[in-house]
Structure 1
């Protein structure tokens, strides 16, 4: 199974996210990650959807998305050089004697401490999924109390995205 990162430009209307997510569910396609936010165009939002499957599955996803009225543009980002990032907040149990050890683990990841309590701290880390997974693995023995991840966001390097016309689908 190949991982696909898809950018979907949609009208910013109530219910669009539900219709896109519902389409995936009805067709039996899994969403590994989805992020949604404003785009560079007023009135449009960009969804970054990560899904897994073969090329035939991706083609079916694209065909189904194109049937939705509010979908303006679909681009498979993994077909191009891209930049992808995720943000994670990790709350770790940290009594005073282990705080320096945890800080030494966090530093090489260029992560930051965003909250410091008497018996816990919250670490913020931004990077690709491998970086975040590695930090989580290293912090695991100290006791992860809570973990949250934003999901992947991505864009193509250079001018590829801006050169596409509305309703263009790339595979």
Structure 2
């Protein structure tokens, strides 16, 4: 099937649906990450948490949830597993006991050096160069921003 054109004139043809293409692409990309993340002992959701923490650590659970667009009920088990692996600490905030601060451990910080290879590996696995991935990212962010403003 030629992926450059809509395969059918039928407005409800599965192959023509943007939602189908996005869903399939999402599952495919996450599956492509799996063998790359295995040596780091990370799942894809854990990798996203680590990316956020490598950029901003320490961070509150609330801030991480907002940055990752996930609720605390989904985030908490990820954080517990990352703590059990020795990558992060979870401690009550000194000024607000209701807030939990998440920080990288030395092991979590050193993991970043290993993870720096991942973007290059994934460009190869996805068969796209940096410019193509940047354009795809920009298109997806445009869709996300537009949909969020519709809510």
Please give the TM-score of this superposition, normalised by the length of structure 2. Answer: 0.22
Q: Which structure features the higher share of helix residues?
A: 2
Q: Which structure features the higher share of strand residues?
A: 1
Higher relative contact order (CA 8 A, sep 6+): 1
